[in-house]
Amino acid sequence: MGSAASPRKVLFVEDESALRSTYKRFFASRYELAFAASGTEALRLLEDFQPDVLVLDMRLPDTDGVTVLQQVRVSRPQLPVIVTTAYVSMEPLISVLDLGHSGFLVKPFSMDDLAARIDAAG
């Protein structure tokens, strides 16, 4: 992992632009950020950006977060993933998949909660 000199690289996969803006505002001074608005973009950035932590929304325009998570697990099995969703009902599904994610946050959540998960991940 990086030292204090190099901030953690966090890839946010979120199709809501308002939430991406909030992430940017809240985390820009803490982490090195990258944003993907779709699953396709997320998988490309996974290679190009090489994040330390992935924050993954379950609802994406081109695919669903579960599919992305499965692909992430193939290419980056150790990558900590924090799943975000508007649906509490997703939790059993994600637990059943047992994809070794590092947290599960139901929207709306506080940015402090998310920051704590990111800092604790990995």
| Host H or E run for residue 105 | strand 103-106
Identify the CA nearest to 106 among candidates 89, 77, 86, 83: 86
Note the pLDDT tens digit of each residue in 43-77. Answer: 999 999 999 999 999 889 999 888 898 899 889 98
Question: Tokens standing for 59?
Answer: 């609802």
Written out in words, the top-level CATH class of the domain with range 9-120 is: alpha beta
Query: Model-level pTM?
Result: 0.88
Supply the pLDDT for residue 2.
44
Q: Supply the mean pLDDT for the chain.
A: 88
Domain-by-domain residue ranges, the chain?
9-120
